[in-house]
């Protein structure tokens, strides 16, 4: 397992343990971890604090994002994908997209390379969460 995806998974598990949605993210620049984060919508009562947004917030000002890679345990939604495109992050490595298709086509249309690892660990974590807390999940993806 790639150490950066493992960090994203660790962040997702941290969110789950805090009563939140199990999505984690990690930002890498020049082969080094810059920051990581996890979905905190529930924990901080903040509708836009998705895993990728928390990670980027934790990274702070890094100058250019053009030489970064962002990892996420789940395919980014349109909000997070828009931020990835806006910041010109060239590559996204995703744990899975089976439970949520996200905005892959949007990112690719804007020149972002998207790699979907289809990791069973990420799929199982989200499937279990969706089964256990369908209302919270539907709130997160705007389906309520």
Cite the active site residues: 52
Q: Give the count of beta carbons closer than 10 Å to the beta carbon of residue 1.
A: 9
Long-range contacts, stretch 91-97, CB < 8 angstroms, 24+ apart: 91/115, 93/2, 93/4, 93/5, 93/69, 93/117, 95/5, 95/8, 95/9, 95/71, 95/119, 95/121, 95/122, 96/122, 96/123, 96/126
């Amino acid at each position: 397992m790639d150490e950066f995806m493992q960090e994203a998974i660790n962040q997702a598990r941290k969110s789950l343990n805090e009563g939140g949605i199990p999505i984690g993210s990690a930002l890498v620049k020049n082969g080094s971890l810059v920051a990581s984060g996890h979905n905190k919508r529930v924990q901080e009562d903040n509708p836009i604090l998705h895993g990728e947004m928390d990670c980027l917030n934790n990274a702070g000002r890094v100058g250019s994002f053009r030489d970064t890679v962002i990892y996420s345990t789940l395919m980014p939604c349109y909000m997070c994908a828009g931020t990835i495109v806006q910041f010109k992050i060239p590559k996204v490595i995703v744990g899975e997209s089976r439970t949520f298709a996200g905005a892959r086509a949007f990112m690719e249309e804007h020149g972002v390379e998207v790699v979907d690892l289809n990791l069973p660990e990420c799929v199982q974590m989200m499937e279990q969460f969706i089964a256990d807390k369908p209302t919270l999940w539907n709130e997160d993806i705007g389906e309520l």
